[in-house]
Amino acid sequence: MKILLDFDGVMVITPTWRPVEQADDGFMTFDEVCAANLAEIVAQTGADIVLTTTHRIHYDNETWRTLLANRGIHTNNVSKVNVASQFTELGNRCEEVLAWVAANPNEHFVIIDDDKSLRGLPEHIKGKWVETSFHDGLTEKRKAQTLAILLTNS
């Protein structure tokens, strides 16, 4: 079970006119409500995190696991939607998700993201997308939607 996770507009909901706060570990501070909601989703489902965020290029998977744990999100495994490096151009989010789904055909997953390009996903994949808003991120309602997708055997 996997959560394909973006950060901006999901975990970080700082208005664009205000600088994003940095935590002691040097990475962005997550909104407390959004982080608590994701922590609860992971605790209830045991899901692993697959990073779709453009920030994924900055650290290796184990460092990401530590950064998430520092924010109260304890997952067994963190991976990335692709293996882009700092020297590789990041792709279109919709295309990256489609490639990940094609490479993981038997994986049960949910996508939590505010990227509007995901509206172009085929319906059978789009039904696993929880569309967040940059202004409020992973709300209680979206947490419930995420849990419903993950806890359904579809």
pTM: 0.91
Q: Give the model's pLDDT for residue 84.
A: 52
Q: Give the model's pLDDT for residue 87.
A: 41
Reference 71, options 115, 5, 141, 151; nearest CA is 5
Q: Give the model's pLDDT for residue 90.
A: 62
Per-10-residue mean pLDDT, the chain, length 154: 95 83 89 97 96 89 94 95 58 88 94 94 95 94 97 75
Q: In whole angstroms, give the CA distance from residue 119 to residue 135.
A: 19
Is 41 in contact with 147 (CB distance < 8 Å)?
yes
